Amino acid sequence: MSAGTTATASARARVLWRSPEARRLAAWVFGGLVLALMTGPSGSQAAPVAGFTGSLFHPRVLVFVALGVALWALSFVRARYGERVRETSVHLTRLPARLVRTRRARYGVYLVVLVFAVVYPPTLSGFWQEVLVDQIGVFVLLAIGLNVVVGYAGLLDLGYIAFYAIGAYSGAYWTGALPVHPPFHLNPFFVIPFAIAAAMVAGVILGAPTLRLRGDYLAIVTLGFGEIIQIAATNLQGVTGGAEGVTGVPHFSVHALGVHYAWTLSNLPYYYLLLGFVVLVLFGFRALEDSRVGRAFTAVREDEVAAEAVGINVLKYKVMAFAIGASTSGFAGLLEVSKIGFVTSQDFTVQLSILVLVLVIFGGMGSLPGAVAGAAFLQWVPQILRQHPLFGYQPQDLYIYLGALLVVMMIFRPEGMLPSRRRKRELALAEQGIGTADAMSGSADPAAGVAP
């Protein structure tokens, strides 16, 4: 072992370190270590470094490092052979892709999914039926509502759950469950227009002044709004029941034309009610997307200055998108509060707003099938993994994993699971240097091309 060989060895190491692949590998491994550390056991006063040793000197760290290396290898292969893989896959999927693109085939797929959604749930256990209603059904509705705001109009709304809260409290108020009493008590079915209207009015009141702001500022204001609603709901104990909440919100029931039926705590009937509403909303939003209003949303998202120049009142359409999203959220709030029968201010956390945003981004911004699939998938898989002996996780770590998932997705598939055609085009264009892939409006230079 002479000094010369160590010198060349260190020189070789330096050369290796300079190669982008090595740095990328280091970054992936580092990411894995951070994830292991963040989700591992925490230290205590008696053993302050127990968190580190427990995370980094425990076999579980290997899982995370292996994941990092695997993803590095995937990105390496993609960078090297991505073009060829893409060409072959385009070649192989040309026929199915063309089939799916025909309207009849697409409706065929939707029909199969719908039939499956009707027939399959009765065979599930009670636990999974509950997941289906409380975790999946409600969040699918929330995601397709937020998709209008974020996906169509390109507005970043971080206080979305506030409208869910407003819908929930409307439900509790009009059915007489809150400490303050309404002039008359209503069946939840008749509360629907009230809940939607309340959330929509709140959306307009918040939106009209703040939607003049661009991108980041709007996100901050909506974040603040979400906090205000939750804190107000906690502190106004005499009105909302505060953090302890109120119980006794009645279930949906039908008493008309000789039909008497009441929903109960049991999940399956609520699932079908929710499914019906979701399908209705989906039909509505599908028509909206391919309409004058939907195209105007896209125009506003793409280029506000040009949209104004062709006579589109940008502010009006932004408020409209915001209000449509808000009312969907309020509707979901009413359904959930009536199903579980009680409401507490503790439910409306900012994490929930972010979760819905993650569902939309994961599914594919601006795409209805994406929002549905993203919400269903991301709400379902953690429930499976939670109990799993190998992949089991602590519930409080869920958001860390979701964050990591989003980071990975932004690298490999930034357009989301089932992207919309328009969004896919935008990203493809951005790669060619045309326009901006940033879906949030306001990031594009507003003056470009206006000033000489």
Interacting residue ranges for other proteins, rule: CB under 8 A: 283-285, 287-288, 291-296, 298-299, 302-303, 305-314, 320, 324, 422-423, 425-426, 429, 434-435, 447-452
Least Å from the CB of residue 414 to other proteins: 15
Q: How far apart are CA 238 and CA 180, in angstroms?
A: 7
- Please identify, using beta-carbon distances, which residue of 227 and 302 lies nearer to other proteins: 302
Least Å from the CB of residue 152 to other proteins: 11
Least Å from the CB of residue 40 to other proteins: 43
Least Å from the CB of residue 425 to other proteins: 4
Q: With 0-12 CB in 10 A as exposed, 13-18 as middle and 19+ as buried, what is 419?
A: buried
- Please identify, using beta-carbon distances, which residue of 300 and 402 lies nearer to other proteins: 300
Whose tokens are 């994830």? That residue is 35
- Backbone φ, ψ for residue 235 (5° rounding): -80, -30
Least Å from the CB of residue 297 to other proteins: 10
Residues with Cβ within 8 Å of 68's Cβ and at least 6 positions away in sequence, in order, are 28, 29, 30, 31, 32, 33
- Please identify, using beta-carbon distances, which residue of 390 and 448 lies nearer to other proteins: 448
Helix or strand or coil: residue 343? strand
- Please identify, using beta-carbon distances, which residue of 28 and 163 lies nearer to other proteins: 163
- Whether 422 and 298 have beta carbons less than 8 Å apart is answered as yes
- Please identify, using beta-carbon distances, which residue of 251 and 301 lies nearer to other proteins: 301
- Whether 163 and 203 have beta carbons less than 8 Å apart is answered as yes
Q: In the 8-state DSSP scheme, what is residue 181?
A: -
Say which amino acid occupies 14: R
- Please identify, using beta-carbon distances, which residue of 258 and 311 lies nearer to other proteins: 311
- Please identify, using beta-carbon distances, which residue of 231 and 287 lies nearer to other proteins: 287
Q: Could you tell me whether strands 253-256 and 259-262 are parallel, antiparallel, or unpaired per DSSP bridges?
A: antiparallel
Q: How far apart are CA 50 and CA 42, in angstroms?
A: 7
Least Å from the CB of residue 296 to other proteins: 7
Least Å from the CB of residue 372 to other proteins: 17
Q: How far apart are CA 76 and CA 411, in angstroms?
A: 12
Least Å from the CB of residue 86 to other proteins: 19
Q: What is the largest CA-CA distance in the chain?
A: 98
**DSSP for 205-263, written as a single string:** HHHHHHTTS-HHHHHHHHHHHHHHHHHHHHH-HHHH-TTT-B--PPPPEEEETTEEEE-
- Please identify, using beta-carbon distances, which residue of 33 and 427 lies nearer to other proteins: 427
C-alpha 295: how far from its chain's center? 23
Least Å from the CB of residue 250 to other proteins: 29
Least Å from the CB of residue 421 to other proteins: 9
Helix axes 267-289, 103-119, angle to 10 degrees: 160
Between the CA of residue 119 and those of 111, 114, 183, what are the distances in Å?
12, 9, 42
Say which amino acid occupies 238: G
Token output for 370: 């994406």
Q: In the 8-state DSSP scheme, what is residue 135?
A: I
- Please identify, using beta-carbon distances, which residue of 324 and 332 lies nearer to other proteins: 324
- Please identify, using beta-carbon distances, which residue of 305 and 405 lies nearer to other proteins: 305
